[in-house]
Amino acid sequence: MFKNGMTYTFNTHGADSTWTIRDGECCVVVRPLTKDEADLFDVGPMYRIRFSDGVETDAFEDELS
């Protein structure tokens, strides 16, 4: 589990063409997503993340290292 406020490296592993331009960038975990925001049973833990320029998106656990 990733911690809120901690910095991680983002990597889509080539799976999301929209966000591959951000691969290798540092991001901060804002918070875990809730079961109302994502189907956590099917996809596992997900997180709201923020890049240094303020852009936010959601990330799968395996996209953060």
How would DSSP label each residue in 2-63?
PPTT-EEEB--TTS-TTTGGGTT-EEEEEEEPPTTTS-HHHH--EEEEEETTS-EEEEEGGG
pTM listed for this prediction? 0.91
- Taking only the tens place, the pLDDT of each residue in 26-39 is 999 999 999 999 99
If pLDDT is split at 50, 70 and 90, which confidence band does 2 have? confident
User: pLDDT digit string (tens) for 51-65?
Assistant: 999 999 999 999 999
- Share of residues in the chain with pLDDT > 90 (%): 83
- Is pLDDT of 45 > 80? yes
pLDDT at 42 over 80: yes
Q: Where are the domains of the chain?
A: 7-63
